Amino acid sequence: MSDQQFPAQQQEPPGLTGEMRPEPDHGETSYVGHGRLLDRAALVTGGDSGIGRAVAIAFAREGADVAFTYLPEEQPDAEATAALIREAGRTPLALALDLRERAACDEAVERTVAELGGLDILVNNAGFQMARDDTLEEYDDERIDRTFKTNLYALLWLCRAAVPHLRNGPGCIINNTSIQAFEPSSSLLDYAATKAAINNFTVNLAAQLGSDGIRVNAVAPGPIWTPLQPATQPPEKVEQFGADTPLGRAGQPAEVAPAFVFLASPAEASYVSGTVLGVTGGKPVF
């Protein structure tokens, strides 16, 4: 697969799965659960597509009920994800919310607890980037605001709202960071900065919540084929997406989800906290 290429393509943010060529693999036909998360309740932000959908599928097949957030314009993807959770025999809760608003973050947690009977796992996956501009001078305030509120503000607001409920488990928090925190691209100054901050936040919050038995970890994906790519990258970059990794290709969302399952598992990762786990195709995360 070292010669993998994607056809040139472009969408407007946030992008939709059905318009991608090829469509990503979320584990729809391959992921097999083993009861690792039986009867637990999870909230996955940005769970309609990409890594979020793969995590939602895996969690459901491991026995969890799954709430997930999405933007209203992502309704087709949200319906597909909800159907896949339902097919796994678990309860989906699709929440059309813009997490750039603090009240939306509070609502996501409150509705998960009310409708799924609690909250055991919070996955902060929703993210925004824009790589079509190359220089800082081209960044307008709207772009900077959207990047920081989606990637960082929402994460803090969600964690703050979730912690009192996670203590009942105790539960766990898993943040989605990026290889960009370690190997930043000049065209992603704002995005890379938020991901570096998430790494710091993950380790710091793990120290703060350790005495409550709440584990806090992060997954750092490398280049993964999701709607974020054609929606935020120029077409010529999409064609070679992931070719610069040691494995010579981009990853699929289905290849990232098992890392989230491991970190969520109260048995397999019971002594794992404050860790950033790389799924990068060979790029170093240190």
Please identify which of the residues 31, 70, 153, 191 carries the catalytic annotation. 191
Asked whether the predicted pLDDT for residue 2 surpasses 80, the reply is no
Per the annotation, the verdict on 191 as an active-site residue is yes
Report which residue type is found at 51: I
Task: Determine the pLDDT at residue 76.
Answer: 95
Is 223 within 8 Å of 180 (Cβ atoms)?
A: no
Residue 44 φ/ψ, nearest 5 degrees = -115, 115
The percentage of residues in the chain with a pLDDT greater than 90, rounded to a whole number, is: 83
Bridge partners of residue 276, in order along the sequence: 218
Is 190 within 8 Å of 143 (Cβ atoms)?
A: yes
**Distance separating alpha carbons of residues 34 and 40, to the nearest angstrom:** 14
Query: What pLDDT digit, counting tens, does each position of 146-180 carry?
Result: 999 999 999 999 999 999 999 988 899 999 999 99
Report which residue type is found at 230: P
Q: How confident is the model at residue 1 (pLDDT cuts 50, 70, 90)?
A: very low
Q: How confident is the model at residue 4 (pLDDT cuts 50, 70, 90)?
A: low
Query: What pLDDT digit, counting tens, does each position of 43-83 carry?
Result: 999 999 999 999 999 999 999 999 999 999 999 999 999 99
**Distance separating alpha carbons of residues 29 and 214, to the nearest angstrom:** 32
Report which residue type is found at 193: A
As a CATH number, domain 17-279 is: 3.40.50.720
Cβ neighbors of 138 (< 8 A, separation 6 or more) are: none
Please provide the average confidence, as pLDDT, over all residues in the chain.
94
Task: Determine the pLDDT at residue 48.
Answer: 96
Is 42 within 8 Å of 36 (Cβ atoms)?
A: no
**What are 32's two structure tokens?**
């097999």
Task: Give all strands of the β-sheet with 276-279 in edge-to-edge order.
Answer: 92-96, 65-70, 41-44, 121-124, 172-176, 215-221, 276-279
Q: Which residues of 170-183 are buried (b: 16+ CB within 10 A; e: fewer)?
A: ebbbbbbbbbbbbe
Distances in whole angstroms, Cα of residue 191 to Cα of each of 74, 84, 96, 128, 241: 21, 30, 23, 7, 17
Residue 237 φ/ψ, nearest 5 degrees = -80, -35
Cβ neighbors of 170 (< 8 A, separation 6 or more) are: 212, 213, 214, 215
**Distance separating alpha carbons of residues 76 and 19, to the nearest angstrom:** 11
**What are 146's two structure tokens?**
């959207």
191 DSSP assignment: H
**Distance separating alpha carbons of residues 156 and 191, to the nearest angstrom:** 16
Q: Kindly list the domain boundaries of the chain, sorted by start residue.
A: 17-279
223 DSSP assignment: S
Residue 274, Cβ density class (10 Å: 0-12 exposed, 13-18 middle, ≥19 buried): middle
